[in-house]
Copies of this chain bind each other. A is one copy, B any other.
Amino acid sequence: MNSIKIIITGGTFDKEYNELTGGLYFKDTHLFEMLRLGRSRLDLDIKPLMMIDSLQMDTEHRYKIIENCKNTNAKKIVITHGTDTMVETAALLAKENIDKTIILTGAMIPYQFGSSDGLFNLGSSLAFAQTLPIGVYISMNGKFFNWDNVRKNTSIGEFECLH
Tell me, yes or no, whether A142 is within 8 Å of chain B by CB.
yes
The verdict on A39 contacting B117 (CB below 8 Å), with A19-B108, A132-B131, A144-B127 known, is: yes
Interface string of A112-127 (1 = CB under 8 A from B): 1111110111111111
Contact assessment for B126 and A128 in the assembled complex, using a CB-CB cutoff below 8 Å: no
Tell me, yes or no, whether A89 is within 8 Å of chain B by CB.
no
Q: How far is the CA of A145 from the CA of B139 in the complex (A)?
A: 22
Contact assessment for B141 and A39 in the assembled complex, using a CB-CB cutoff below 8 Å: yes
Chain B nearest CB from A53 CB (Å) reads 8
Chain B nearest CB from A136 CB (Å) reads 16
Of A24, A39, A132, A143, most B-chain CB atoms within 10 Å:
A39
The verdict on A38 contacting B121 (CB below 8 Å), with A17-B113, A19-B108 known, is: yes
Q: Which residues of B contact A95 (CB under 8 A)?
A: none
